[in-house]
């Protein structure tokens, strides 16, 4: 049976763990708020025209506060540009991990990634506009993530061809076309003109037509 001293020690460890977890959550919240405000300013005024002073003012904090989370403005841009592609890869991973057939996996990927593009629209647009301002190492890293996404999607398309589900002559080319079409939604989607559900459904139909089996002549 545990002594009073042992129970007290266990309780102390638990409190410390809770404090550490809470501290991490607060830090993540503050970091996220910096990215959200920087995203708005980069989207509205461009990366080069936005200063760290402007970001700090928008958040009603000091510039040293920003340096507690990011070394410089370039690092903030890097973090913003990573959001869309990392979330898209997570959606790809989740779909590929299922036991669904290739057509259902593809549909799930298109549905989830298109939703990510719409709900993170400004992050995606900032990436498209400001890719030229990324540090070379970061630009190369993000390009590698995009290439990995396209290659794994191409493998799914090829799996569908081998299973007799898809009619695709060049899986890598079709894969790049699909990912490009989905990403481009960020540029033209306007809330109110079409609903998110309509755009997602429309994109799914387009992709399904691209890979659909065609009657042999």
One domain for residues 66 and 165: no
Cα separations in angstroms, 119 against 47, 50, 155, 197: 21, 23, 27, 12
Domains in the chain, number:
2
pLDDT digits (tens, 9 = 90+) for 71-112: 999 999 999 999 999 999 999 999 999 999 999 999 999 999
One domain for residues 47 and 82: no
Cβ neighbours around 80 below 10 Å, total = 24
Q: What CATH code is carried by the domain that includes residue 58?
A: 1.10.10.60
Q: Which residues in the chain land under pLDDT 50?
A: none
* pTM for this prediction: 0.85
Domain that holds residue 35: 1-70
* Residue in this structure with the two tokens 């830090």, named with its chain if needed: 27
Quick one: pLDDT at residue 154? Answer: 98
One domain for residues 92 and 44: no
Phi-psi map region of 212: left, alpha, beta (phi>0 left; psi -120 to 50 alpha): beta
Quick one: pLDDT at residue 23? Answer: 73
């Amino acid at each position: 049976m545990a002594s009073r001293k042992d129970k007290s020690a266990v309780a102390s460890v638990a409190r410390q763990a809770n404090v550490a977890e809470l501290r991490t959550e607060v830090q993540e919240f503050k970091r996220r708020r910096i990215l959200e405000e920087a995203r708005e300013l980069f989207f509205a005024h461009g990366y080069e025209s936005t200063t760290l002073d402007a970001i700090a003012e928008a958040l009603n904090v000091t510039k040293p506060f920003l340096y507690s989370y990011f070394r410089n403005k370039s690092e903030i841009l890097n973090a913003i540009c990573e959001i869309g592609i990392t979330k898209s890869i997570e959606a790809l991973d989740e779909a590929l991990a299922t036991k669904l057939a290739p057509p259902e996996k593809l549909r799930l990927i298109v549905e989830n990634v298109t939703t990510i593009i719409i709900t993170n629209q400004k992050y995606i647009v900032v990436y498209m506009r400001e890719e030229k301002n990324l540090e070379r190492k970061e630009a190369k890293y993000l390009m590698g993530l995009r290439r990995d996404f396209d290659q794994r999607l191409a493998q799914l398309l090829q799996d569908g061809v081998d299973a007799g589900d898809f009619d695709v002559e060049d899986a890598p080319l079709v894969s790049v076309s699909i990912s490009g079409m989905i990403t481009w939604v960020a540029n033209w989607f306007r809330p109110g003109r079409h609903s998110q559900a309509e755009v997602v459904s429309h994109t799914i139909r387009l992709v399904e037509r691209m890979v659909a089996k065609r009657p042999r002549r």
